[in-house]
């Protein structure tokens, strides 16, 4: 019986997804999914899904972010700005940006407000939070990851130093592809970008897939360790893959 895993990355209001059979790496596919339920109910019915979205929303934030955000930022070092600190739960469900900022400041110490970039992903956060609270059985299948945390680990726990957007994007994208190849993903999967999915989102979904693989094999690393929990029992943890030793480019 096939054991499918999956990686998901938010992409233009949908999800860039990558699926792989743990027992047969030649069996894989990439697609653009309208929502998380679509991949849960896909024919492969993946057992483990790594998803680039915050899971676990404390009612009050202390120290500038969730425990998972702080642990990931400490791990990334100079590249920590790619981890948006999540505000308190109430702010995630606010009706508009101004209300989100006010609710965040009221329930955080020291007070802080989400950036507009952070606010723009709240719809993804709400969708996954609502799903996991309604279906507790899915908590063993869906796990929070962060692509840059994954690439950092695949790079020997070293910063990449190469952006995936902007003038030098090609160098950064090529390096990320190389790391995914070294991690064992087949070349055909690396080339299987779905129509309408930008290259960076495709690679981020594949990074989430590598983390899902390591979770399934029992070698992924939790940030923080041990994971925290929010008031609804959802884990507050970002999963990183096992460290890979790679040559410094």
Listed by start position, the domains of the chain span 51-249
When pLDDT is averaged across residues 44-67 and rounded to a whole number, the result is 96
pTM of the predicted model, to two decimals?
0.95
pLDDT in tens, 11-42: 988 999 999 999 999 999 999 999 999 999 99
pLDDT in tens, 188-203: 999 999 999 999 999 9
Structure tokens at 166: 């902007």
Omega before residue 226 within 30° of 0, cis:
yes
Instruction: Report the phi/psi class of residue 140: left, alpha or beta, with left for phi > 0 and alpha for psi in -120 to 50.
Output: alpha
Please name which of 93, 8, 92 lies closest in space to residue 53, comparing C-alpha atoms: 8
Please name which of 163, 154, 205 lies closest in space to residue 184, comparing C-alpha atoms: 154
Alpha helices in 140-242 (DSSP H): 147-154, 169-182, 187-190, 199-216
Confidence bin at 79 (pLDDT 50/70/90): low
- Quote the mean pLDDT of the chain: 94
3-state SS class at 82? helix
The length of the chain is: 249
CA distance 16 to 227: 26
pLDDT in tens, 91-127: 999 999 999 999 999 999 999 999 998 999 999 999 9
């Amino acid at each position: 019986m096939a054991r499918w895993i999956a990686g998901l990355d938010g992409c233009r209001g949908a999800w860039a997804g990558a699926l792989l059979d743990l027992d047969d790496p030649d069996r894989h596919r990439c697609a653009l999914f309208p929502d998380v339920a679509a991949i849960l109910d896909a024919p492969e019915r993946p057992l483990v899904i790594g998803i680039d979205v915050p899971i676990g929303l404390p009612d009050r934030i202390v120290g500038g972010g969730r425990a998972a955000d702080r642990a990931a930022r400490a791990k990334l070092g100079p590249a920590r700005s790619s981890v948006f600190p999540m505000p308190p739960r109430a702010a995630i469900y606010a009706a508009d940006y101004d209300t989100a900022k006010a609710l965040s400041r009221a329930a955080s110490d020291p007070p802080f407000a989400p950036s507009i970039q952070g606010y723009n992903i709240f719809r993804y956060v709400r969708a996954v939070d609502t799903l996991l609270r309604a279906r507790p059985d899915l908590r063993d299948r869906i796990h929070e990851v962060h692509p840059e945390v994954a690439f950092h680990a695949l790079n020997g726990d070293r910063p990449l130093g190469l952006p995936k957007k902007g003038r030098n994007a090609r160098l950064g994208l090529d390096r990320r592809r190389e790391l995914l190849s070294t991690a064992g993903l087949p070349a055909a999967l690396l080339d299987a970008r779905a129509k309408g999915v930008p290259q960076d989102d495709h690679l981020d979904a594949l990074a989430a897939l590598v983390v899902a693989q390591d979770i399934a094999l029992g070698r992924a690393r939790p940030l923080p360790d041990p994971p925290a929990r929010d008031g609804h029992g959802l884990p507050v943890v970002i999963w990183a893959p096992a460290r890979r030793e790679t040559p410094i480019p």
